[in-house]
Amino acid sequence: MDPTARFAELVAQPSWEVRLDEMANLIGLAFEPSAHPTAVGEWLDAVAGECEGTFDSVLGVLFRSGRLTGNRTDYGDPLNSYLHRVVERGLGIPITLSVCAMEVGRRVGLEVHGIGLPGHFVVECGGTYADPFHGGVVVDPAHLEEHWRGIIGSRAPFDRRMTRPVPPRAVAMRMLNNLKSVFVSADDTAALRVLATLRSAYPELRAERPEYLRWMHRWN
C-alpha cells in the first residue's frame, strides 16, 4: 500500500488504538518509498530481545550503549525524522529517539509514554522521566522543569499539563511539524509535496491547506 494512503487510514482511527511504530515508520517511507517497509519493526523486535523488561534496561540497551544518539551536529537533517534512517544510522532527534524507547518498551510489556514538552521531547515510565536525546539520562520528576529549562532556556511558566502522555496520532503530527520547518526553510518542493499529502490527512490542519497551494506553485 502507498505509505501516504496507509498513513491517512491511521490518522482516521482513534489515536490510542494506532500502532506508533507503524505510523512513525510510514512518514519516512513516504519520503523514501524504496526503504524496506519492515526494517524498523524487525530492528525494534531485535533490540527488545536484548532487554530485561525494565525501563532502566530499555534506556541502557538503546541509549547508554551508544546504539542510538542525538544528532547534535546536524539537528535539522530530515533523516533524523525518518525512523528507518534513525535505526540505520543510530542518529535521531528527541521525538524519534523517544518513539524507539516507547516501542521497545511496549514490546517488553512496559508502558513508556511520550511527553511533548515545548521545544523538547522525553519519555516517562512509572513516574520516572528520561531524556533519550541526552543519552537516556533519568530525570527525577521534581527536577523535570529544571532539566527542560536547561535545554531550551525558556522562562515561560511550566504547566504540569505539559507532562501528559502524547497519543500516537499527535506524536506523528509533531514529527510532521518538524519536517515542515525543515522543508519550508529549504524550499524543497519535492519534499513539500509529500508533506502536504501527509498533513492533509489531519482534518484539524484544514486551515493551513491554502499554504500547500503556495508550496505547489512550481509543481505544474
Q: Are 130 and 122 in contact (CB under 8 A)?
A: yes
pLDDT of residue 100: 98
Determine the average pLDDT of the residues in 160-176: 96
Cα dihedral sign, 64-70-71-72: negative
Place of cell 500547500: 212
Q: How would residue 157 be classed by pLDDT, with cut points 50, 70 and 90?
A: confident
Mean pLDDT of the chain: 95
Percent of the chain with pLDDT over 90: 89
Chain segment 52-104, per-residue pLDDT in tens: 999 999 999 999 999 999 999 999 999 999 999 999 999 999 999 999 999 99
* Per-residue pLDDT at 158: 87
Cα–Cα dist 202/193, whole Å: 15
Mean pLDDT over 132-161 rounds to 92
**Are 125 and 105 contacting, i.e. CB atoms less than 8 angstroms apart?**
yes
Cell 530481545 belongs to 49
